[in-house]
Structure 1
């Protein structure tokens, strides 16, 4: 039996190691930093409650990402039921020389494409790792990546004349 102090110390280490990645993942779903921060907290609370025994560090990361993704999807459904309008931070692509406008365009993609694009490009995960996190076949992940890129290309051509 693992004692509570060890679990708390491991959760603190996970927060330090993966906190910003979980926050970015949640934000990619929710487009609201307050909600994303709550998802980060809720993910760590789930870790503290369940205290999963995971064999490898990669399994811990996958577990955390899966929990954060599921909590984010639940929050999206909750927000739809509550009919809340979130404030959107709009970017003027003409005034920016970086690629932030691309990530803004990613927000317009359906969730199934947005999540794989975020995990692949922003988090640097392989399609096999993404498939494990999302509990999908690797071929499905590759298909979503391809279709997501096509839709993103279309959005960028329409909105930014690229």
Structure 2
């Protein structure tokens, strides 16, 4: 793989990879590690893609797998809340990030890919290695949990 091709991939897809890593790990340091691992694999394997969507999906899949591997790691002890790592633009957004951060990872990653990255449920299923029905169910349950948490926060 040529250096220019790798640099272009990092510039184009780096922010997306980092956001997903940060959403799943809750740690800027871990997200940095995942980011580096993903692009190191990209350069070492030099996969040949026919479409940009395939490249993007491959990078997201590798990111999800690296995050999953990191979660099982002994070193995964110190985390930073997503709301602390990504500054909110306004008060409502900050509350939403805190509520999203409190959700279990399986809902958080599906919600992130759907709303932040704009993927359809079938694409999310392929990226995360889950069935499409499972993703739809997790998306529905994640929304319900988020809605209930939001209503609970407003009542306080």
Against the structure 1 CA distance between its residues 155 and 60, is the aligned structure 2 distance closer, same or farther, given a 3 Å change threshold? same
Q: How does 1:1-162 map to 2 (within 5 A)?
A: 4=1, 6=2, 8-78=3-73, 81-82=74-75, 84-88=77-81, 96-161=90-155
Against the structure 1 CA distance between its residues 45 and 108, is the aligned structure 2 distance closer, same or farther, given a 3 Å change threshold? same
RMSD of aligned alpha carbons: 2.0
Q: How far apart are residue 89 of structure 1 and its match?
A: 6.8
Q: How far apart are residue 43 of structure 1 and its match?
A: 0.4
Rg (Cα) greater in structure: 1
Give me the TM-score of the superposition, normalised by structure 1. Answer: 0.83
**Secondary structure of residue in 1 paired with 2:72:** helix
1:25-65 CA distance string (max 9 Å, x none): 00001111121112111100011111111221101001000
The 2-side partners of 1:128 and 1:87 are apart by 30
Matched residues, number: 151
The 1-side partners of 2:82 and 2:9 are apart by 29
Judge which range, 43-52 or 82-91, deviates more: 82-91
Against the structure 1 CA distance between its residues 82 and 36, is the aligned structure 2 distance closer, same or farther, given a 3 Å change threshold? closer
Against the structure 1 CA distance between its residues 88 and 146, is the aligned structure 2 distance closer, same or farther, given a 3 Å change threshold? closer
Runs of 4+ in 1 over 3 A off after TM superposition: 87-91
Q: Which runs of 5+ in 1 are unaligned?
A: none
